[in-house]
Copies of this chain bind each other. A is one copy, B any other.
Amino acid sequence: MKQTFNMELFFQALADQTRLRLLNLMGDKEICVCYFVEILDQLQPKISRHLAYLRRAGIVEPRRDGKWMHYRILMPQHAGAAIILQQTLASLKDERVMQSDTKKLLKACCSPAKFNGLQGAPIPLTAACCERG
């Protein structure tokens, strides 16, 4: 089907804790880079670099919105890869770190102003949380 799909590269992209945390946070919604930085509590260039790896592997897609960049998961054309990615996302939800991240994201969406790095940051479009304070 896909001539250019590379299983090895695909797994390489998934074989990193930081990238798994990013994917878990995205889930099925679009997230702004600034949220990743805030929630993972890691330096911005590091987040950016890992997002670049995911981009290169074709797993995520960026969208520019003014100053902000939003990322969302791009389900692979390759049927097998799509199943693997979905199963991975499902499995991640069982892990403590991932649950903690998800909870933190919800909080941040509710009141971005309370987080240093999120002054005036855009609220994730599909976030099912309370309105901005």
- Name A's B-contacting residues (CB within 8 A): 1, 7-8, 11-12, 14-17, 20, 78-81, 83-84, 87-88, 90-92, 94-95
The CA of A12 and the CA of B91, in the complex, are separated in Å by 16
Question: Apart from A12-B15, A87-B87, what 5 extra A-B contacts exist at CB < 8 Å?
Answer: A8-B15, A78-B91, A80-B91, A80-B94, A81-B91
Note all chain B residues with C-beta closer than 8 A to A91.
7, 78-81, 84
The CA of A1 and the CA of B12, in the complex, are separated in Å by 25
Nearest to A11 among chain B residues (CB) is: B15
Nearest to A81 among chain B residues (CB) is: B91
**Minimum-distance CB pairs A-B, first 8:** A80-B91, A11-B15, A12-B15, A11-B14, A15-B15, A8-B17, A83-B87, A11-B11
